[in-house]
Amino acid sequence: MGNIIVIAILLVIAFFAVKSTMKHFKGEGGCCGGCSGCENAKPKKKELKGVKIAEKVIKIEGMHCEHCKRAVEQEINKIDGAAASVNLRKNIAVVTMEREIADEELNAAVERAGFQVIS
């Protein structure tokens, strides 16, 4: 009888672990901590004041959730003349620029957020 109870408890734990893992890989759960309620809150979008002169797409590795998305957007948005929009499904950041910004500066912002630039 004791073995059945232990097996039942292990099955319940395994069920919740698999459920949480599936949410994580779909980008629905918080993977980095500090993201309770991220999916419901709308972040403030940065508006550029000047004329858009260019747009760059940055392929990023390691983003899984809304917290990851916000971290990348916030770091890129700190750059004067740049506004970022991250697409989690495609693992990209689209950066709209009102001045020429070196790729190295954009890559450094992504790395400060804790992620790696692929291209």
Report pLDDT digits (tens) over 76-106: 999 999 999 999 999 999 999 999 999 999 9
Tokens of 31: 């993977």
Give the integer Cα–Cα distance in Å for 22 and 94. Answer: 27
Tokens of 99: 């001045």
Give per-residue pLDDT as tens, 22-71. 766 665 555 655 555 555 556 678 888 888 999 999 999 999 888 999 99
Angle in degrees, 0-180, between the axes of helices 66-77 and 103-112, rounded to the nearest 10: 140
Question: Any idea what DSSP says for residue 36?
Answer: T
- Looking at residue 73, what is its pLDDT? 95
78: left (phi over 0), alpha (psi -120 to 50) or beta: alpha
Q: pTM of the entire structure? A: 0.68
Q: What is the CA radius of gyration of the chain?
A: 19
Smallest Cα–Cα separation from 101: which of 66, 39, 52?
52
Provide the number of structural domains found in the chain: 1
Residue range of the domain that includes 115: 1-119
CATH, residue 38? 3.30.70.100
Residue 17: pLDDT band (50, 70, 90) is confident
Check if the beta carbon of residue 110 is closer than 8 Å to that of residue 79: no
